[in-house]
Structure formats: structure tokens, C-alpha cells
Structure 1
Amino acid sequence: MAIDASLPSAPTTAPPRLSGRAKLILFVLCAAQFMVALDFSVLNVALPVLGKDLGMSQSALQWAVTAFALPSGGFLLLFGRIADLYGRRKLFLGGLAVFGAASLLATFAWDPASFLTGRALQGLGAAAIVPTGMSLLTTTFPEGPQRDRALGISGTLLSLGFTVGMVLGGVMTDTLGWRSTMGLLAVAAVIVLVLAPGLLTESIPHRPEGMGGAPVSEQPRLDIPGAVTVTGGLLALIYALSTAAERGFGGADVLVTLIVGIALLAAFVYVESRSAEPLVSLPMLRRRTVAWGNLGGLVTFAMMSTVVFVLTLYLQEVLKLSAFRTGLVFGVQGALSAVAGGYAAKFIGRFGARRVLVGSLLGQGLFVAALLAVGTESGALLATAAVSLASMCHLGAIISYGLIVTSGVPDEEQGLATGLVTTTQQVGLTIGIPLLGVLATTQGDLFGGVRTVLAVDATIVLAAALLIAVGLRNRRA
């Protein structure tokens, strides 16, 4: 059976060594991704303290998360395409500047409005940093072993950032106060912003003749109707799902924004089918690697975030573990995930990204299913082992799906491809808990609810693995 040329396959030569400059570029781009990942979780354990300090009610605390999630997910595709057309380095540096300034505003916030403004601007900066950082990485490191290695390191730090944020947020809040968590992000943004200009070169891809139906001499144009519909649709969808995680799907605002979001995304597909220069090329979305790879990313992020949520409830509410001991469980998970990241690129080089994605999803599903063996009196050790192994497989899925989606994509569309990757990531992180996590808290019996969520979660991951194995199967040309 012939190997599909659009999917990464085993290298025939040893991977070339990275130069000193290439290592510095990789450090800067990965540091930016780690910083954004840290921002997703570092504030979570500080919310009760923050609320008391700023006078925010319990119901208003969700906006500390939602204010960041809305722009960070809603503008990813738009910023990824702007970067393709007008320059990735410019937008990357601009995003860093906005993120750093917003972190300072959040650090010194004097009331809820100023704090939430800072969080929203952080999300806007992150929406520029993530797709441009990823596209700079995929265009700096050529497709093959070097890109495999770079994406492996980036994916490891991305996953590690979420876990480190949970642990670091609690330590810093207890010792230095909640403001230190935002201050840390401001310092990190300044460091990257100082190093990046001297290392990164501008990346405006060559526009081939006939692309989008336009002659080479014409200035590329941004698809405004497409930008409005997809950004509005993503904002509405993320708002609905983020709010549903706190209050369920019964609220009028949740239902209305959910319907509006779906309608706008449907309008976006219609607009793109008629646009001469679409924001998202529909033929790209029809590529097997893009469609099935993003499905793998959506499932692995959505289902793993749900496992972490319900496992936290199980450890603290059923086994009555302290927040510190619960943090240790996720600390072990993060450490083993980092180890897995070091081997992911090697496995991809040997077996190919498709096999690694399918195998990783199968492993994630099976180890989540193993969590069904925990009991009401004991189970912390089993939970630690199973979630750590599931997380290691999860990291393999993260790295391989990103590689599958971006492999074989023309250089002039790398920003769009990485925007799709990161949008999938953000939507996955957003939808898992409201769609499944609510089952754990509405059944009356928390332990029974946790088991129900874990069973459904494992089933979805295993089913997705089988579908992707078929969808990405090798075909003869």
C-alpha cells in the first residue's frame, strides 16, 4: 500500500542539527506559546481571592475566564489570515505588546471593569500571538524532521503551560497575592518582546499567479464579509458555551447566542463559497488532512479538559483530598506529559503522524476508561496513574494533529492553517466541560455523575480514533 504523500512519513536521513540562531528562534516562539497557555489556567485558583479583593460577585467571576476566552478564540482565524496577507512578524510583535500592556492593566486593576478590560485585551493579544507564532514556526523550520521536532517542543510546552499554571497559580496567590499571577505574564511578555525583533524576520509569502482568481500585480484583499461572519459566529458560540458551563443551557442569552453563532457560521460557509478571495479556502477545509486532523484536535482537547474537570471534583469532593494534594496529582500528570513530549517527534518520525494521532487517541480513550475503576473510599493512586498516562497520549495527539493539518499546506496559507489548528484547540477547550461536565453535577450522586462523564468521554475518544483511522487511511494516488 502506497504512503499518502500529504502525510508525514519516516525520515530517510538523520535530522539536521539546529543552528544556534534557530534554537533561539524556537525558544522565543515556544516561550510565547507557553505564556499564553499559562494564562489559560494560572488565574483559576485565584478567582475567589480576586473576587473578594475587587468586589466581584460569585456569578461575575466567570467573566474573568470568559472575557479572555471570547477574543482569544473569536479572532484567531481573522488574525491568522491578516498575518498571511500583511506580515506575521508585525502581528506577532503587536500581539505581544498588547498582551504585555493588558497584563499590566490586570495586575494593577482597581475595580472589576478595569480588570475585565485587561483580561479581554489579553485575549485579543493572545489571538494574534498564537496563530502567528505557529505559522512563524512552521515557515521557519522546513517540513520534515526539523518541523517535527519544533512542533513537538511547542506542543509539550503548550500542554505543560496549562498544568504549570494550575500549580503555580495556587503557590503565587498564597504567597504573593493574585496580582502576582498577572504580573508574571507581563514580565514574560516583555522578555519575549525584547528578544523577538532581533531574531525574527518578516514573513509575507509570495503570492502565486492566479491565487484566488487575482493577478499577481493586485494587492491581496481581506475578505471582510467572511471575517465578520466567522468572527461573530465564533464569539457567539464561545460565549454561549462558556456561559453554559456556569449556568447550563436553559438561559435565554445562552440559547439566543448559540443560535446566532450557528447561523453566522453557516452564513460564513455561504460567503466563502462565493468569494473571489475567501478568508478560508473551502478546498482547504475539504482536504482530508485538515478535516480529519482538526477533528482529532477538537476531540482530544474537549475530552481531556472534561477529564481534568471531573477528576478534580472526584478528588476533592469524593475522596476529600486537599487542594494541595489534588495539585500534586496534576503535577505528576504535567511532568509525565513533558517526558512524553520529548519522544513524540521521534515516534512521528518513525511511524508517521497519522498512526501517532490514531494511537494516541486510542490510548487516551483506554486510560480514561481505566478511571472507571476508582472507588468512593480510595482511588487517588489509580487516578494519578491513569490520568497521567491518558495525558501522555493526549500530548501525542496534540503534536500529531497540528503536524497533519499544516503539512503540505502552501506557505502563503500557513497562517490560515495554524489559525484553524489553534481555533480547534480553543473551541475544544471551551465545549468539553459544558457539554459533558454538567452531567457530573446534575445527577444528585456526584460519584455516579463522574463515572457517567468518564464513560461517555472514553467512548467519544475511541470512536473518534476509529473514524480518523478510516478517514486518514493511506490511499494510492
Structure 2
Amino acid sequence: MSVTKPAPAIRRTAEPSASLTAPQKLTRHHQAVLAVLLVAQFMLAVDFSILNVALPAIGDDLGFSLANLQWIATAFALSAAGFTLVLGRLGDLIGRKRIFLGSIALLGLASLVGGLATSPALLLAARVAQGLATAAATPAALSLLTTSFPEGPLRQKALGLNGALMSAGFTAGAVFGGVLTDLLSWRWAFLVNVPVVLAVLIAAPAVIKESRPDDRPRLDLPGAASVTLALLSLVYGFTQAGEHGWTSLHAVAGLVVAAVLLAVFHAVERKAGQPLVPPSVLRRRNVAWGNVLGLLAFATETSLVFLLTLYMQRTLGFSALAAGVSFGVLGLGTVVGGLLAPRIIARLSTLTALVAGGIVQAVATATLLLLGTATGPSMALLLPATFVGGVGNMLVIVGFMVTATSGLPDHEQGLATGLATMSQQVGIALGTPVMSAIVTAATAGATTGGAILHGVTVAIAVNAALVLAGVLIAAAFLGTRRQSETTPDSPRPA
């Protein structure tokens, strides 16, 4: 006779995830929690892109070679994406608040070191530390958010605001990076984090409540090691493909190693007594397919920023600052989408937000195929298209967050948010190198404005096709799931 082991008890002082008597409006405590977590998430999102515009200035100042300059971005992406899942799960084991505060402090210290760095090695070490802090803080903040708000309209509203500020932070990073580099110094792209970190560390202990299991299971070390190395290899392989092409030995080796290690991870998890990612969780359609949609949503929109930056600078002749400022329209669109998404989900369904948002994003992206070499007409098309596309993309992102974190008990929210954050980080890390490789292949080494436009157009077509693939996935695999059927602790059909 088999005995089902009960889930570990959770020592909580925060509100339960769901309650028939849960408040339908944000209390003052909710508002304070939301403010602290959203400020932190916005700062983490800004860090993904704030140094992109500053890379040439950093290279000139610290003596980076042209070949090694890309490691400033790659070092961050590797650690941020590679360690997200294991650090997200660690929050379930030792306390999400503890992980959140510790990682935010690490981010502040790493930012200070990066801003004062005098050598390439020190700067890269700071970027690795920033990536690790992001890998820990992002899922911890998201799980604190989902466990602080009851499942339903309040959580949807919180996730909508969270998603809007995250996407806005990514696009704002490009603007901030250009402004700070041009007016002050690239060092302020690091140092700007320090006062924000101090503010969060002062406010968070008073408003965020801890949750940790009484019965702490062992960390699945073989699973943690295999999935972390797999993600590191995956991101490295795609990054090398973006830099050197799909036939690069480093790119092929990285992708092959990643595939082998993911197979090892799958085998380890099936036999582990206390797996890092229980197979039963991945068999839930909302978790598995929701995370696929999240990866596609982040990969397509963030890589579109790269493509349009390349187009504006190389074809239209914009400065880095002018190109960065242009994305303010996209950031506005994501804020509007973040505000609309909870209302659409509440009144219609999560599936409606996923499908409608994907269609809107795909159509807006496809209109960019009409971009040309004339600045006036092209910008008249680009600005409204990116705004509309930002609205659609944010509907998908909020829909993905709600889908991938619903129906799980609080003691598994760290796992759910860790998976969701992993999808986000991997999507951001992979989108740009994949599109870069497509542009490189389409241009065949040519660097003229017309050749760049052709390469960008081919990549935009692929981008739009990936968005449509997400729409089809949502309709095919999530079409029978309605939010009204979801209860936090009920089992989900496989």
C-alpha cells in the first residue's frame, strides 16, 4: 500500500493565497508590498539593457578588446539565466524574504564594484555577481508577490503591474544607459543602482513578511547541478551563434552539451526522492505550456529592440541616444498593456489575453516589414507599431505569469516563479543572439545600410512567425483551461 507524503507545512504570517473572504481591493499593506517589490523588479529589468549603449565607452576606458567587449553582456546573461531555477527553488527551502534581501544587497555591492572598476577582470566579476543577484532576486520577488496576494483579481492586478514595469524597465534601460553615458559617465549605469538598493533594503524588512517551510526538504544537488550547467551551456551556445554564426565550433559544442545535460536532468528528476522540479508539476499544462509562451514572449520583444536599434543606427544613421529614446514609445505600450491585461483576464479569460495579445503583437511586428531607408516615413511606421506591439506583448506576458503560477500551493510558489523567471531570463538571453545570427546569415557579411535593412527584415519576419507560433500553442494546449476552474491547491489534469 502506498502512502502519499503530505506537503511540508508552511509557517506563514502573510495572507493565504486564496480565501473566500479575501479583500477585493488593495489594502495599505498590499500597496506597500507592491511598491517595494515593483521598484526592485524595475531595477532588475533595467540592468538587462542599461549597459548596451555604454559598451563602446566601457571598452575605451578600461581597455577591453573588441572581441571581448560582448562578454560584459554575456557574463550577466549566463549567470542570470543559468542559476535562476536553482536559486528560485532555494527560496522555498530557506525563506523567500531572506533570499530577496540577500540578493538585493549583493546587487548593490556588485553595482558599486562595477561602477568603481579599474580593470576588465573586475568589471566582469561585478557583472557575474549582478547576474547571480538577479537570478536570486527575481524569482524571490515574484514568489513573494504571488503569496502576498490571493489568487484572483488582486493577484492578476499585481502581476499586470509587475509585468508592465519589468518590460518598461528593459526598454527604459536603453534610454537611461544613453543619457547617463552621454551626460555623466558609463560608471553611473552601475552606480545608479546603489541608492535604489539602499531604499529597498530599508523599506522591505518592515513590509514584507517571511514564509518558509517547517519541514525543509533536501536540495536536489544532482538535479541542480545538471540543470544549471545545461542552462549555462544553452545560453553560451546561442550567444556564440549570434557572434560567430551557427557553424561556430563553440556554438555547436555549447548546444550539444546543453541537450545532453538536459537529458541527464530529466533522468535525474525521474529518480530523485525530492526532485528540484517534480515531474508532476511539469505535467501540468498550465506550467509547461505557460512557460513556453513566456519564453517566446520575452525572446521576441527583447530581440525586436535589438533589431530596431541596429536598423535605426546602421540604416537611418541615428545616434545611440536617439535610438534609445525612440523606445520610450514601446515602454509606454507595455505599461498600457500591463494595466489592460488584468481587466481582460477578469472579464474574459487568461486564454483571451494570451491569444489576443499574441495576435496584436504579431500584426504589429509584421507591419515593420514595410520599413525602408527614408527616415520620416519609417519612423511614422515604427513608433506606432512598437507601441501597439508593446501592448500585445504585455497581454501575453501577464497571461503567461498568471497561467504558470496558478493552481499551485504556496509551498510550491518558489518553484513556479523560479520556472517562470527562468523562462523570462532564458528568453531574454537567447532572443538577441538568435536574431543576430539570422541577420548575419541574411547579410552575408555586408555592412551597408541596405544590406542591414534586408537582414533586419528577414529577422523581423522570423520574429513575427515565432509570436504566431505562441498563439497556436496557447489555442491548442490551453484552450480547454479556464481560470474559473482553477483552485490553488487542487490537482490539475495532466
Q: What TM-score, normalized to structure 2?
A: 0.89
- The total of aligned residue pairs comes to 456
- TM-aligned CA deviation for residue 187 of structure 1: 1.9
Query: In the TM superposition, what is the alpha-carbon distance from 1:245 to its structure 2 partner?
Result: 2.0
Residue of structure 1 equivalent to 2:477: 471
Decide which of 167, 174, 182 is 1:166's aligned counterpart. 174
Distance 2:40 2:361 in 1: 27
Q: Which residue of 1 aligns with 2:221?
A: 224
Match of 1:420 in 2: 419
- Counterparts of 1:323-334 in structure 2, within 5 Å, are 323-334=320-331
- Return closer, same or farther for 1:253/1:442 CA change in 2, 3 Å cut-off: closer
**Aligned residue runs from structure 1 range 68-83, under 5 A:** 68-83=76-91
Q: Deviations over 1:84-134 (max 9, x none)?
A: 112111111111111111111101111011111111111111111011100
User: 2:307·2:435 contact (CA, 8 Å) conserved in 1?
Assistant: no
Matched AA of 2:86: L
Judge which range, 77-86 or 425-434, deviates more: 425-434
Q: Deviations 1:211-259 (Å, cap 9, x if unpaired)?
A: xxxxxxxx41111110110111111111222232222233322222221
In the aligned structure 2, how far is the partner of 1:14 from the partner of 1:447? 53
| AA matched with 2:390 | S
**Aligned ranges for residues 296-311 of structure 1 at < 5 Å?**
296-311=293-308
Residue of 54, 65, 84 corresponding to 1:57: 65
Give the 4+ runs in structure 1 shifted more than 6 A.
12-15
Q: Name the SS for the 1:204 alignment partner.
A: strand
CA deviation map 1:426-475 (0-9, x unaligned): 11112222223322233332222222111222122112202211111126
Aligned to 2:125: 117
CA contact (8 A) 1:315 1:380 kept: no
2: distance between equivalents of 1:327 and 1:98?
Answer: 28
Q: How does 1:14-53 map to 2 (within 5 A)?
A: 16-53=24-61
Secondary structure in structure 1 of the residue aligned to 2:327: helix
**1:327-476 superposed matches below 5 A:** 327-377=324-374, 378-444=377-443, 445-474=451-480
Distance in 2 (CA, whole Å) between partners of 1:184 and 1:353 is 36
CA contact (8 A) 1:366 1:462 kept: no
The one-letter code sitting in structure 2 at the alignment partner of 1:439 is I
Q: Which residue of 2 aligns with 1:213?
A: none
2:248 paired with 1:240: no
Structure 1 residue 312: Cα displacement: 1.7
Letter in 2 for 1:453: A
SS of residue in 1 equivalent to 2:211:
coil
Deviation at residue 324 of structure 1 after TM alignment: 3.7
Residue aligning to 2:163: 155
* CA 1:137–1:14: 2 relative to 1, 3 Å: closer
Distance change in 2, residues 1:70/1:324 (3 Å): closer
Instruction: Indicate the SS of the match to 2:54.
Output: helix
From 284, 287, 292, the counterpart of 1:290: 287
- Residue 350 (structure 1) shift: 0.9
Whether contact under 8 Å (2:333, 2:389) holds in the other structure is no
* Matched residue SS, 2:117: coil
Query: SS where residue 379 of structure 1 aligns?
Result: helix
* 1:3 corresponding residue in structure 2: none
Offset, 1:262: 1.5
CA distance in 2, matches of 1:316, 1:37: 23
Match of 1:189, SS state, is: helix
Query: Do residues 144 (structure 1) and 152 (structure 2) align?
Result: yes
Letter in 1 for 2:88: G
CA distance 1:13–1:139, shift in 2 (3 Å) = closer
Secondary structure of residue in 2 paired with 1:442: helix
Cα distance in structure 2, aligned partners of 1:275 and 1:282:
10
Aligned partners of 2:354 and 2:396 also within 8 Å: yes
Q: CA deviation at 1:205?
A: 4.1
- Once structures 1 and 2 are overlaid, which stretch shifts more, 52-61 or 448-457? 448-457
Confirm whether residue 273 of structure 1 aligns to residue 273 of structure 2. no
Counterparts of 2:341 and 2:21 in 1: how far apart (Å)?
18
Runs of 5+ consecutive residues of structure 2 not aligned to the other structure: 1-19, 444-450, 486-492
Look up the equivalent residue of 2:153 and give its one-letter code: P
| Residues 383 and 291 (structure 1), Cα distance of their counterparts in 2 relative to 1, 3 Å cut | same
Q: CA deviation at 1:329?
A: 2.2
CA apart distance, 1:171: 0.6
Q: Report the Cα offset of residue 13 of structure 1.
A: 11
Deviations 1:361-390 (A, max 9, x none): 111111111111222224111011112211
Q: Which amino acid in 1 is paired with 2:413? A: Q
Per the alignment, in what secondary structure is the counterpart of residue 218 of structure 2?
A: coil
Q: Tell me the C-alpha RMSD between the 2 structures.
A: 1.9
For 2:464, the aligned partner's letter is A
For residue 143 of structure 1, give the secondary structure of its aligned residue in structure 2.
coil
